[in-house]
Amino acid sequence: MISSLHRPTKAKINLDAISANIRTVVEYIPSQPKVWAVVKANAYGHGAIAVAHHIEGQVDGFCVSNVDEAIELRQAGIKKSILVLGVILPEEVYLAKDYRLTLTIASLEWVSLAKTLGTNLKNLTCHIKVDSGMGRIGVRTRAETEALISELQEQGAFIEGIFTHFATADEANQQQFEEQLDFFKELVRSLDNCPSVVHASNSATSIWHADTVFNAVRLGLVIYGLNPSGRALEIPYEIEPALHLESALIHVKKVPAGAAVGYGGTYHAETDEWIGTLPIGYADGWTRDMQNFNVLVDGKFCQIIGRVSMDQATIRLPKKYPLGTKVILIGKSGDQSISATDVAEKRGTINYEVLCLISDRVPREY
Ligand SMILES: *Cc1c(COP(=O)(O)O)cnc(C)c1O
């Protein structure tokens, strides 16, 4: 989809903030792990190519969710290793070899299927995924892990790493985290020939369990400057959000008391009111449930009134503002700010989703 450039709606991305966030998180990890930046889903909406180019010198590699995201980076000239975190179909293994990608192998059944299909795994670089309790993908026992390692070795694959993923590292209650950690530690310890790269830490684990990273970390949300727990846990250092979402008033009018605004006529002006219209709507990822939330104009909170439509939203202004006046949807204005976490709370979701939903129609400016 083409970005709509001829509109004042844009996401401004501060790439230096991403670099600084990576430095900060890593500084607080006592060991010196390999660092992979997770740039799946277009770098959580920040633009995978721009982010990867900016930080390539700072990290050991990248993680993405699928082969297409990895190919996008290779075609943009990214040279460092790229780990595909999801499971791909054996039919696509040749792409991994062509583009020097590292694949996640999560079951014996996958290797059997590859054999049946005649997929050549020779010299494929891979990491074994262990399901230590997340319940999504991965081998669940020591026996299966051992069997998978020997199968892959027999096929000539190069097993560079082994990893797991925690389900609750961003929660105060540590019970499931501890269970998963114990399981994974014991598994790794018991393997006869353990792959050299061992990793388990996403952002939350790297922040709140910095002493338990193995020898590599996979940093996602935190590098974009947001708290993976929302507000449940405090981050013990400063990070800076890298994305600001802004638009501008493209229409300003005074409506009389009682006038209806928006689809369904759900809002009626209480008195004579100044109403501003913004060129952003649910097709931009500014979802309909943002009705009654606030944006910032001139350092002041202004309420979104009436329904958010596909391409436009309406706000109540305290006074007349000129066309072109900047409107901040995520970011700072004067002394006030609105974070992706604030938006997530209003929507009953998590900040990750808020970032990922900002659609391709919104241009990213660096
Ligand atoms: C997305 C993902 C990450 C990054 O998670 P954050 O919470 O954003 O740091 C790490 N590992 C795996 C397996 C993932 O899918």
Identify the active-site residue in 28, 94, 237, 263.
Answer: 263
Looking at the structure, tell me whether residues 254 and 213 fall in a common domain. Answer: no
Domain co-membership, 25 together with 54: yes
Helix (H, G, I), strand (E, B) or coil at 336: strand
Same domain, 117 and 258: no
Active-site residue, 40 included: yes
Give the separation between CA 340 and CA 112, rounded to whole angstroms. 43
Looking at every residue in the chain, the average pLDDT score rounds to 97
Q: Is the pTM of this model over 0.95?
A: yes
Catalytic residue among 40, 129, 224, 267: 40
pLDDT at 212 over 90: no
Residue 116 maps to a domain: yes
Burial class from Cβ neighbours inside 10 Å (0-12, 13-18, 19+) for residue 280 reads buried
Residue 278 and residue 157 in one domain: no
Q: Please report whether residue 361 resides in a domain.
A: no
* % of the chain beyond a pLDDT of 70: 100
Cβ of 165 less than 6 Å from ligand 1: yes
**How many domains does one find in the chain?**
2
**Each residue of 223-259: pLDDT tens digit?**
999 999 999 999 999 999 999 999 999 999 999 999 9
Q: 303: domain range? A: 243-338
Cα of first residue to Cα of last residue in the chain, in angstroms, is: 19
Which among 75, 106, 73 is positioned nearest to 89, based on CA atoms?
Answer: 106
Do 220 and 247 belong to one domain?
A: no
